[in-house]
Amino acid sequence: SQKIEQNSEALNIQEGKTATLTCNYTNYSPAYLQWYRQDPGRGPVFLLLIRENEKEKRKERLKVTFDTTLKQSLFHITASQPADSATYLCALRRGGGGNKLTFGTGTQLKVEL
Protein backbone atom coordinates (compact mmCIF):
# COMPACT_ATOMS: atom_id res chain seq x y z
CA SER A 1 0.00 0.00 0.00
CA GLN A 2 1.04 3.58 -0.53
CA LYS A 3 3.00 5.20 2.30
CA ILE A 4 3.40 8.95 2.57
CA GLU A 5 5.89 10.70 4.80
CA GLN A 6 6.11 14.35 5.71
CA ASN A 7 8.40 16.24 8.08
CA SER A 8 7.12 14.99 11.38
CA GLU A 9 8.64 17.78 13.38
CA ALA A 10 6.97 21.15 13.58
CA LEU A 11 8.42 23.83 11.36
CA ASN A 12 8.89 27.26 12.94
CA ILE A 13 9.75 30.18 10.71
CA GLN A 14 9.75 33.93 10.89
CA GLU A 15 7.08 36.04 9.27
CA GLY A 16 8.04 37.01 5.74
CA LYS A 17 10.24 33.98 5.13
CA THR A 18 9.46 31.09 2.79
CA ALA A 19 8.25 27.87 4.35
CA THR A 20 9.11 24.65 2.54
CA LEU A 21 7.35 21.41 3.40
CA THR A 22 8.27 17.99 2.05
CA CYS A 23 6.13 15.05 1.06
CA ASN A 24 7.69 11.72 0.09
CA TYR A 25 5.78 8.67 -1.07
CA THR A 26 6.62 5.06 -1.79
CA ASN A 27 5.34 2.60 -4.33
CA TYR A 28 3.52 3.72 -7.43
CA SER A 29 3.48 7.26 -8.70
CA PRO A 30 0.01 8.73 -8.56
CA ALA A 31 -1.73 10.55 -11.37
CA TYR A 32 -1.81 13.62 -9.10
CA LEU A 33 -0.97 14.75 -5.62
CA GLN A 34 -2.95 17.13 -3.42
CA TRP A 35 -2.12 19.47 -0.56
CA TYR A 36 -4.55 20.37 2.21
CA ARG A 37 -4.50 22.72 5.17
CA GLN A 38 -5.96 21.66 8.51
CA ASP A 39 -6.59 23.96 11.45
CA PRO A 40 -7.03 22.51 14.97
CA GLY A 41 -10.43 20.89 15.43
CA ARG A 42 -11.43 21.43 11.80
CA GLY A 43 -11.63 19.36 8.64
CA PRO A 44 -8.93 19.74 5.98
CA VAL A 45 -9.30 22.38 3.29
CA PHE A 46 -8.07 21.79 -0.25
CA LEU A 47 -5.22 24.02 -1.40
CA LEU A 48 -3.58 22.74 -4.55
CA LEU A 49 -3.39 19.78 -6.86
CA ILE A 50 -0.48 18.92 -9.11
CA ARG A 51 -0.58 16.31 -11.86
CA GLU A 52 2.17 13.86 -12.73
CA ASN A 53 2.98 15.69 -15.96
CA GLU A 54 3.33 19.04 -14.17
CA LYS A 55 6.59 20.05 -12.59
CA GLU A 56 5.27 23.07 -10.75
CA LYS A 57 1.96 24.70 -9.82
CA ARG A 58 1.34 28.10 -8.28
CA LYS A 59 -1.56 29.78 -6.54
CA GLU A 60 -1.00 33.20 -5.02
CA ARG A 61 1.75 32.71 -2.38
CA LEU A 62 1.68 28.93 -2.70
CA LYS A 63 3.88 26.82 -4.93
CA VAL A 64 3.97 23.06 -5.32
CA THR A 65 6.53 20.97 -7.17
CA PHE A 66 6.26 17.32 -8.11
CA ASP A 67 9.20 15.07 -8.91
CA THR A 68 7.99 11.61 -9.88
CA THR A 69 11.56 10.33 -10.16
CA LEU A 70 12.34 11.24 -6.56
CA LYS A 71 8.74 10.45 -5.54
CA GLN A 72 8.60 13.76 -3.79
CA SER A 73 6.52 16.91 -3.66
CA LEU A 74 7.60 20.20 -2.14
CA PHE A 75 5.11 22.77 -0.87
CA HIS A 76 6.25 26.38 -0.53
CA ILE A 77 4.57 29.32 1.15
CA THR A 78 6.30 32.58 0.29
CA ALA A 79 6.07 35.75 2.37
CA SER A 80 4.64 33.68 5.19
CA GLN A 81 2.24 35.21 7.68
CA PRO A 82 1.12 34.15 11.18
CA ALA A 83 -2.25 33.27 9.61
CA ASP A 84 -0.48 30.55 7.63
CA SER A 85 0.15 28.65 10.88
CA ALA A 86 -1.61 25.31 10.54
CA THR A 87 -0.96 21.66 9.74
CA TYR A 88 -0.36 20.91 6.08
CA LEU A 89 -1.19 17.51 4.69
CA CYS A 90 -0.27 15.96 1.37
CA ALA A 91 -2.57 13.33 -0.02
CA LEU A 92 -2.67 10.80 -2.81
CA ARG A 93 -5.76 9.41 -4.40
CA ARG A 94 -6.32 5.72 -3.84
CA GLY A 95 -7.67 3.27 -6.32
CA GLY A 96 -11.21 1.99 -6.29
CA GLY A 97 -13.09 5.02 -7.46
CA GLY A 98 -14.07 8.34 -5.94
CA ASN A 99 -11.78 10.86 -4.30
CA LYS A 100 -10.62 8.42 -1.65
CA LEU A 101 -7.37 9.66 -0.16
CA THR A 102 -4.33 8.43 1.68
CA PHE A 103 -2.91 11.25 3.76
CA GLY A 104 0.59 11.96 4.87
CA THR A 105 1.47 12.41 8.48
CA GLY A 106 1.18 16.19 8.20
CA THR A 107 3.61 18.96 9.08
CA GLN A 108 2.70 21.61 11.61
CA LEU A 109 3.83 25.05 10.54
CA LYS A 110 4.19 27.98 12.96
CA VAL A 111 4.89 31.41 11.59
CA GLU A 112 6.21 33.74 14.25
CA LEU A 113 6.24 37.51 14.29
Exactly one of 9, 41, 83, 113 binds another protein (CB under 8 A); which one?
41
The closest alpha carbon to 44, from 99, 91, 3, belongs to 91
**Residue 94 sits in the site that holds another protein (CB under 8 A):** yes
**Residue 44 sits in the site that holds another protein (CB under 8 A):** yes
DSSP 3-state assignment of 83? helix
In whole angstroms, what is the distance from residue 102 CA to residue 81 CA? 28
**Residue 109 sits in the site that holds another protein (CB under 8 A):** no
**Residue 95 sits in the site that holds another protein (CB under 8 A):** no
Q: C-beta of 51: minimal distance to another protein in Å?
A: 9
In whole angstroms, what is the distance from residue 27 CA to residue 41 CA? 31
Closest to another protein by CB, 53 or 113:
53
